[in-house]
Amino acid sequence: MKIIYADTFFKRLIGLMGKKDFSEIMVFTDLKDSSIHTMFMRFEIDIYYIDENGIIFDKISLKPWKFYRPKKQAKYIIETKKGLLKLNINDKLDFI
């Protein structure tokens, strides 16, 4: 499975907008804001919010044209096509 790192302003800005299909994992880093939108997207996505310890503290599925902001700031955000990953809140991930 391919992992795409959205580690620049432009990559974070574009994200998954306009894609017809997506089977990769997109990891957002260097975040100043943890809010997410699905404007101009064509499919439902799963979003995982991860803290500085690598713990998933929030997870949500969003349909196109929706907005979401978690209760706290994330260190990383993972976006995938809905159902691609089977991760849960409190799972720990290691970023190397």
**Domain ranges in the chain?**
3-81
Query: Which residues is 41 bridged to in the sheet?
Result: none
What pLDDT digit, counting tens, does each position of 32-81 carry?
888 888 888 888 999 999 999 999 999 999 999 999 999 999 999 999 99
CA dist 75 → 16, 18, 47, 95 (Å): 19, 25, 13, 11
- Alpha carbon 32 to chain centroid, angstroms: 14
End-to-end CA distance of the chain: 16
Say what the pLDDT of residue 16 is.
66
| pLDDT recorded at residue 79 | 92
| Strand ranges of the sheet holding 25-28, from the earlier edge strand across to the other edge | 3-6, 25-28, 76-81, 45-50, 56-62
Q: Can you give the pLDDT at residue 48? A: 97
Using DSSP bridges, classify how beta strands 76-81 and 25-28 pair: parallel, antiparallel or unpaired. Answer: antiparallel
Can you list the positions of beta strands (E) in 1-96? 3-6, 25-28, 36-37, 45-50, 56-62, 67-68, 76-81
